[in-house]
Amino acid sequence: MSLQPRKVIIDVDPGIDDAVALAMALFDPRLEVLAVTATGGSVSPEQATANLQALVAFLDPPRLPRLGVAPTDTVLPSQQYNLHGGDGLGGIDLPRAKLHGGHISEKVISETLRAHPREITIIALGPLTNISRVLARDPLIAEMIGGLIISGGTVQGLGNATAVADGNFYADPLAARNIVREPLAKTLVPLETTSQVMLGFDLLDQLPNEMSSRAGKILRPMLSHAFRAHRQWLGSEGICLHDAVALVALTNPELFDSTAVFADVETTGELTAGMLVADRRHLRHNAGQWQPKVDLLVACDAAGVQDCILRLLAAAAAGT
């Protein structure tokens, strides 16, 4: 007896690793991608929307999800370097495909949740702006979320956007705090865990053929750019596809180790804005009322996760 696909909403700021995760998800038979929503982060809100529309149109999945437009009334902090290229996708020059009927992301998320209450897992691969706005507008909608996977945070204080913060939390610290504090079931996949899956240059030899599929046509140049950028900016010969690892945390949770922690996010520190603070002490404040706030993934089977990524990319190529 086959299991029903798991209903998901994917919130992205594409971004090369977002694009890879999106290609994986759209052709994974275990997932029913009901909506994909854009937010600013790795790129501007306008670029995030354009990239999302172009990616979905080019990949042409068997089922077209609803698409959400990124809110433009957000101000993103400046980045010291950009691993994603000027367009966010490594300069692959996808045809711009503005799809009709696009609504603002928070509206798409809200309407989709209401249509399938408690059935949907949200996979948040960018800043948490959209999710925070949905809950601020209608706090009761939290009860309709079946689960939340968050790609972001760093529990050891070694950030990639600043010394102590990852890019997603740094881009909108207040939204990150709002969601981390929200009493709903959520899983956090921090940098320390996603960085355990370091992909070497031989990854390019294992990707789908560039000439035989649409997915291969975009994956090879995007990831080639990622390797060059990581070498130039970080002095690294490998790359970490953080958001692809976060997606595998949903589809293959058996590959990850987790612990429940109380957590919060710094919003006002001059040097620490966006920093995730995890309290793993064995204290019980207000006995009987203290509860863990976040299911934190602290380790993974790196080889198993890499194998999942490659198999899902092969499936994406077969579907295009």
What does the pLDDT profile of the chain (320 residues) look like in tens digits? 458 999 999 999 999 999 999 999 999 999 999 999 999 999 999 999 999 999 999 999 999 999 999 999 988 887 766 889 889 999 998 888 776 667 999 999 999 999 999 999 999 999 999 999 999 999 999 999 999 999 999 999 889 999 999 999 999 999 999 999 999 999 999 999 999 999 999 998 888 777 778 998 999 999 999 999 999 988 999 999 999 999 999 999 999 999 999 999 999 999 999 999 988 776 655 544 556 689 999 999 999 999 999 999 999 988 87
Spatial distance between the Cα atoms of 150 and 164, rounded to a whole number of angstroms: 18
Spatial distance between the Cα atoms of 53 and 40, rounded to a whole number of angstroms: 14
Spatial distance between the Cα atoms of 160 and 89, rounded to a whole number of angstroms: 19
Task: Give the per-residue pLDDT at 95.
Answer: 86
Task: Give the per-residue pLDDT at 71.
Answer: 96
Describe the crossing of helices 302-319 and 242-251 by its angle, rounded to 10 degrees.
Answer: 90
Ranges assigned E (strand) in the chain = 6-12, 31-38, 66-69, 103-104, 120-124, 145-151, 186-189, 256-265, 276-279, 294-300
DSSP 101-164: T-EEHHHHHHHHHHHSTTTEEEEE-S-SHHHHHHHHH-GGGGGGEEEEEEE---TTS--SSSSS
Going along the chain from its start, the domains and CATH numbers come out as 6-319 (3.90.245.10)
Annotation says 242 is catalytic: yes
Q: List the catalytic residue out of 100, 242, 282, 285.
A: 242
For residues 224 and 218, is the Cβ–Cβ distance under 8 A?
Answer: no
Using CA of residue 120, residue 121, residue 127, residue 131, what is the dihedral sign? positive
